[in-house]
Structure 1
Amino acid sequence: MFEVQDKGDKKLVFVKGEVNAQTGSELKKNILDIFNSANTVVLSFKGVVYMNSSGLREIIDLLKNANKTKKTLMLCEMTPDIREMFTFTGLDKVFKIYDTQAQALG
């Protein structure tokens, strides 16, 4: 469902497949664990084929938790459909979203 790479002080997480209520909740739990050892997590959506509103809610919960604990969550490499979901809901103004990994990793 996902793969993690160390990128210096950041963790790059490649999310794969579908992000829905079940997979989103598992993803959230794992990302929260990663935040115990990293201040910044970058989620790459390149391998995501589908995400519904339940999956989106889990990503929003992750951002809330990151903000509360002074951590940074960034998103990158979204498919046009997923990017549109973030734009349509106005979440593109709330999340740090980048076109490429390189931009997100700075």
Structure 2
Amino acid sequence: MIRIEHRQDRLVVFLEGELTFYNSSEIKEQIKREITGNEEQLILEFSGLTMIDSSGVGIIISLLKKMNGKDLVVVAPPPKIARVLEITRINQIVPIVGTLDEAYQK
């Protein structure tokens, strides 16, 4: 499930369930349609995510490029998801924080 909210100059994406090969194209397109270019920050809220595979990791990279140098932050990934982000070294190019408030401070 995906829920997208525009909050001032931020786009906040709440993801629940799986972010895998089976749904990644649809989710990526939903998010990209919402990006206007006026956002200063894209926040991916992962607390409800239960699974991510290489397609899901690819979405993060694709969205980072789409933001064109603006901030992308991952919020509250569960331990299993955080481990995948660490193994793939996404955590070295995308900040990972515990709360939305922390993301707003980035």
TM normalised by structure 2 equals: 0.86
Question: The residue matched to 2:83 in structure 1 has which SS?
Answer: helix
Whole-Å separation in 1 of the counterparts to 2:65 and 2:11: 18
Gaps of 5+ in 2: none
Distance in 2 (CA, whole Å) between partners of 1:90 and 1:2 is 24
Question: Which residue of the partner structure matches residue 79 of structure 1?
Answer: 78
Q: Deviations over 1:1-44 (max 9, x none)?
A: 21122322112111111001232221211221222153321010
**Contact 2:4–2:31 under 8 Å retained in 1:** no
The CA RMSD measured in Å over matched residues stands at 1.6
> Kindly tell me: are residues 100 and 77 of structure 1, through their superposed partners in 2, closer, same or farther at Cα, counting changes over 3 Å?
same
Q: Which has the higher helix share?
A: 1
Indicate the SS of the match to 1:95: coil
Give TM-score scaled by structure 1 length: 0.86
Task: Name segments (4+ residues, structure 1) moved above 3 Å.
Answer: none
